[in-house]
Amino acid sequence: MAIKKYTNATASTLVATLFLWAGFSTPAVANDQELQKIARELGVLRHAPVTPVPARQINRQPQQRQVQQYQSVKQDPYAAKRRQIHLQNIARKKAYHARLAQQQRSKHQNTQTQKTQQQNRHGNVWNRLYQGFKIRNYNHQPKVKRFTAEFSRNPKRIQQLADRSSKYLYMVVNELNRRNMPTELALLPFVESAYRNQAYSHAGAAGMWQFIPATGRRYGLQQTRSYDARLDPYKATKAALDYLQKLNREFHGDWLLSLAAYNAGEYRVQREINKNRARGRRTDYWSLDLPRETKQYVPRLLAFKEIFRNPRHFRVQLRGIPNTHALTEIQVNKPVDLRRAAMVAGLPADTLSSLNSGFLHGITTPRLSNRIIVPRQYAGRLSQVIQKLPPARDVQHIAARKYYKTKRSKKRTRRSKRARYVYHKVRSGDNLYRIALKHGISVKKLKRLNNLRNNKIKPGKRLKIASSSRTKKHLS
């Protein structure tokens, strides 16, 4: 009789039944393992049985496996070493980048030091000015020739302009070098205001760089009843160079077009460029149909460049300007009468008021600006004097520039009243907004002066703009 072979756990039960049927007793150690062993020897069990695993144990096997792997990693003697090497590599990489940045900073500092030493080697601001010329020479242009000949007829006048610029030229050239801009732009105040910090124009422009009110406000130059930042040489210089850099980006690096836009406005210059481009003409500065003042503006600057580049040829003897700061700034946190401070310090009365003409009444307003410009050689003395002086009377509500005005006679003739205003003749294409913007006044004031009820104006009409006495005062 062939014995049927079983492959499951019932083989152990069958073996135990055979023992009882044959009259034998079950072995003392009759557990499943021994019965399965006897079943294998008798040939009843075909394969080694698979021990059943409880369901709970099966579900926990992956977690146990992860724990075992974690314990094996944790017990790995090389894991800590590998982590240490990884942290060392990160530290080396950071040190390398820090060393590279330090080398770049050192290289930049060395370059600046060499540049400064090279500039100081000359000991003269004029030499630094010549070194920074970047605009090409246009001495072959007829207009440049005409203005060069006109200016060179009066060498004393050129010398006076150069002496007047000696207080500010170092500051302007320094700022141009820092921005990597052409140093010809340091000659622009010769054309704009003859380097006079208190210059005014008939269009309402003010200061050394001749900002009109709207453009001044656009570039952060505050204008109130007691303070006008356009007359601050430091602030106005930074604002003017910001404006010129912006124009130069708009006109793709053409400095002649940028200078023309500084005078006439970028929209006017761009409009003329578009006209010439539509007609197939050239779009450089010399080919544009610009206003008469703008056509003379750039040639005047280039004529000054020719004269200052070769002063001996034009019989001009330039006095050397030391290559160092002539002016400095000190902090002032209270209202100070600038004329009184200068007199107490033993200086001429207008020393501080001329340098700080932005304070329209000659009294500082810390709420608007808490610093003043002083001659560097007297900075220590003036600082001590200002600390001892009592605060001056607040001038916030005094009318603008009342401090400098003299008493006028109340009796005026009709003839003088007729001559009070400067007039603007309306041309084709003009409107009230453009006229007001050009002359630095508001449209509302322009309409009030001319008794206009609406914005309609006809070509040929003469509009009142500003007081003639005020214009003469600003131009004198």
Query: Which of 265, 280, 314 lies at the terminal end of a domain, its last residue?
Result: 314
Dihedral angle computed from the Cα positions of residues 317, 320, 321 and 322, in that order, rounded to the nearest 10 degrees:
180
Same domain flag for 43 and 162: no
Confidence of residue 407 (pLDDT cuts 50, 70, 90): very low
Q: Looking at the 3D structure of the chain, how many domains does it have?
A: 4
Same domain flag for 183 and 273: yes
Bridge partner residues of 45 (DSSP): 6
Same domain flag for 135 and 258: yes
Q: Which domain holds residue 278?
A: 123-314
User: pLDDT digits over 454-465, tens only?
Assistant: 888 888 888 888
Residues 296 and 141: beta-carbon distance below 8 Å: no
Find all residues with CB under 8 Å of 299, minimum gap 6, and list them.
138, 141, 143, 144, 146, 147
Between 31-40, 191-200, 253-262, 270-279, the lowest mean confidence (pLDDT) is in 31-40
Same domain flag for 391 and 454: no
**CATH code, domain with 438:** 3.10.350.10
**CATH code, domain with 289:** 1.10.530.10
User: pLDDT digits over 31-43, tens only?
Assistant: 566 666 666 666 6
Query: Which of 285, 314, 343 lies at the terminal end of a domain, its last residue?
Result: 314
Q: Average per-residue pLDDT in the chain?
A: 80
* Residue bearing the bigger pLDDT, 275 or 27: 275
Q: Classify residue 331: in a domain, yes or no.
A: yes
**What b-and-e string marks burial along 268-292, b requiring 16 or more CB atoms within 10 Å of the CB?**
bbeebbeeeeeeeeebebeebebee
Bridge partner residues of 329 (DSSP): 373
Same domain flag for 247 and 344: no
Between 5-14, 93-102, 370-379, the lowest mean confidence (pLDDT) is in 5-14
Same domain flag for 149 and 39: no
Choice among 41, 175, 192, 329 that is catalytic? 192
Place of tokens 């610029």: 165
Q: What was the pLDDT predicted at 109?
A: 73
* Residue bearing the bigger pLDDT, 147 or 61: 147
pLDDT of residue 131 exceeding 70, the answer is yes
Confidence of residue 345 (pLDDT cuts 50, 70, 90): very high
| Residue 285 in tokens | 């500065």
Q: Is 250 a catalytic residue?
A: no
Same domain flag for 147 and 198: yes
Q: What was the pLDDT predicted at 116?
A: 52
Query: Which of 254, 287, 314 lies at the terminal end of a domain, its last residue?
Result: 314
Residue 344, amino acid: V
pLDDT of residue 374 exceeding 90, the answer is yes
Share of the chain above pLDDT 70, in %: 74
Q: How far apart are the first and last CA of the chain?
A: 142
| Residue 411 in tokens | 């009796």
Q: Classify residue 298: in a domain, yes or no.
A: yes
* Residue bearing the bigger pLDDT, 396 or 248: 248
Q: Classify residue 108: in a domain, yes or no.
A: no
Q: Classify residue 60: in a domain, yes or no.
A: no
Same domain flag for 385 and 425: no
Same domain flag for 278 and 214: yes
Confidence of residue 471 (pLDDT cuts 50, 70, 90): very low
Q: Classify residue 233: in a domain, yes or no.
A: yes
Q: Classify residue 67: in a domain, yes or no.
A: no
Same domain flag for 146 and 217: yes
SS3 of 373, please? strand
DSSP H or E stretch at residue 463 = strand 462-467
SS3 of 222, please? coil
Place of tokens 């460029």: 273
* Residue bearing the bigger pLDDT, 454 or 206: 206
Q: What was the pLDDT predicted at 469?
A: 43
Q: Classify residue 102: in a domain, yes or no.
A: no
Q: Classify residue 361: in a domain, yes or no.
A: yes
Bridge partner residues of 211 (DSSP): 206
Same domain flag for 151 and 244: yes
Same domain flag for 378 and 308: no
Average pLDDT over residues 41-55: 54
Instruction: Please tell me the distance from the alpha carbon of residue 275 to that of residue 20, in angstroms, as a whole number.
Output: 122
